[in-house]
Each structure stands twice: as structure tokens, then as C-alpha cells.
Structure 1
Amino acid sequence: MRRIWTEAAAIMLAVMVLGGCATSKDQLLPHGDSTMLDVWQQETGGSGAAGGQTARQLLDARQSLRRPLTDADVQATPAANAAYTRTASTEIYRQFRRLPNPDLVMYVFPHLAGTDPVPVPGYSTVFPLYQRVQYAMPGERVEDY
């Protein structure tokens, strides 16, 4: 019974593979009359009347983004730049805070150690959870969750 299912699955797989090979590339992806250069010029506003109109729209959009700085922008620039400048008062402030690295306490039970079994009494040891110190990005939350 299992062999019948295996043979049926193999036949179905072969039919699907051969069916995929029977499809022609031109039928699946038909070619148009335009070349890649024509498509590029049409979409980027290259040549022609429609292309000139597209180029004009693109130029208008760019000009609306370009604007002169106002007096308020000029006055706010030093304050904005001061936030990134290191001074004696901000030198102590840590921009990249350390992330919490909790200590784990492990208890080692009494055991025998070495080639000559020597008794070792039980003891506790402390080690950090993470091997390396991790830092938070500026503005990232570092409080306990």
C-alpha cells in the first residue's frame, strides 16, 4: 500500500516538472515593441512632449523642497548643534548607557576532583549573565521592564 502512494507521488512530481518545462518563455513573458531606453526615457522624462511634461513636474517637485532658511531656522541651528557638541558639563553624561547584566549565583555541590579523588567542599560562585557588556542606543529605554 505504501509503495502505491510513493509511486503515485513520484508520477505526480514528474508530471509537474515536465509541465513546467513545456511552457515557452515568450508565452509566459511576452515582448513589447519598446526598448529599455524607451521605457527609461518615458519614466524619467527624457525626450518627447510627454517626457518634457514629466521633467517639468519633477523639477517643480524638487523646487518645492528647496527653500531658503528663515531667520528662525538660522537662530535655531546653534541650539540644535549644541546638543551634539561635547562640553565639560556634558562630558560626564553618558550617551550610551550600559544595559543591565544581572549576576547569576551558582552553587557547586561537594564533590571529588582530580585523579586522586580529593574532596572539594560545596561553594557558591557569581558570574554575569552576558559575556560582554552591552550598550543601549541614545534614547533607548534602559529601565527595568
Structure 2
Amino acid sequence: MNRAFMPVAFAALMSVISGCSTSKDEMLPAGDSNMLELWQGKGASGSTQQGAQGREALRRPLSETEDQRADKLDHSYSRTQESEITQQFPRLPNPDMVMYVFPHLAGGNSPVPGYSTVFPFYSQVQYALPGERTEDL
């Protein structure tokens, strides 16, 4: 490593380390209130009461359209009889494949007549995600 670089690196390292040497009490003084008083809005400094008054001033009732939108949003996440009857995850079609096995000899000597067998195209049942279109399938 270059000797001219060593003092610069040491100075940078010391400035980073000294930046982290601030105490917790110096950065965040404890104050005179305990947590229960702050929770109940009875802080000694009065800033808690001012903050609560400010929050109350900012609150406003929902308009009619916002209220209806909130109701629709609530109903979309809750379970109802209608949503239980309709399938949320409909099964995707899995067509049956028909295969014909020609007559053959099993084990070299035993004749096996020709037959048809049916098996699903996909090995697993596939499901559509909610809202995916399955009508065209």
C-alpha cells in the first residue's frame, strides 16, 4: 500500500469512528414523562397535547364516495356467502388425451389386444389466479 495514502485513510477512519461517539442521552434526552403518561396524552411538556390537537384538526369526515369506496374495499377482503360459493381460484381446463395402444406381444410370446387409454394432458391440476380470464379457454 502507498505510504502517502496511509495518513489519509487513517484520518478518514478516525472521522467516521468519532461521528459515532455521541451518547444516546445526548441525542435523545429522556424528559420528565413516562410512557403511560405519553400514551394517555398527559405529557409534562405540553407538546403531546399540542400534537393531539393538531391531529384532531387535520381529521375530516369521509365524503360519500370515499365512504362507498371504503365499504367496497372492506367487502372485497371479507368472506361472504357469495364469495364462498363462487370459486376464487377456478380450475383451468385439463383436456383428456386418448391414446390407442396397438396389438402387440408382451414378453415376446403373450399376445395383447389393442386398447384405448385416457390420461390428462397436464400431470397436475392447474388453477387460475383471482381475476384471470378463463372464459376463452
TM-score (norm 2): 0.51
The CA RMSD over aligned residues, in Å, is: 3.5
Superposed displacement of residue 137, structure 1: 0.8
Partner of 1:42: none
Query: Which is richer in helix?
Result: 1
Superposed displacement of residue 78, structure 1: 2.2
Q: Residue 124 of structure 1 aligns to a residue in which SS?
A: strand
Could you give the per-residue CA deviations for residues 4-55 of structure 1, whole angstroms, max 9, x where no partner exists?
A: xxxxxxxxxxxxxxxxxxxxxxxxxxxxxxxxxxxxxxxxxxxxxxxxxxxx
Give the Cα–Cα distance (whole angstroms) in 2 for the partners of residues 69 and 95 of structure 1.
36
Could you give the per-residue CA deviations for residues 75-130 of structure 1, whole angstroms, max 9, x where no partner exists?
A: 43122211221122321110111111111000000000126x21000000000000
> After the TM superposition, which segments of 4 or more aligned residues of structure 1 sit over 3 Å from their partners?
67-70
1:114 correspondence with 2:111 = no
Q: Which runs of 5+ in 2 are unaligned?
A: 1-57
Give the Cα–Cα distance (whole angstroms) in 1 for the partners of residues 124 and 88 of structure 2.
19
Q: Report percent identity of matched pairs.
A: 58
Give the Cα–Cα distance (whole angstroms) in 1 for the partners of residues 86 and 125 of structure 2.
18
Task: Count residues with an aligned counterpart.
Answer: 93
Q: Which runs of 5+ in 1 are unaligned?
A: 1-66
TM-score (norm 1): 0.48
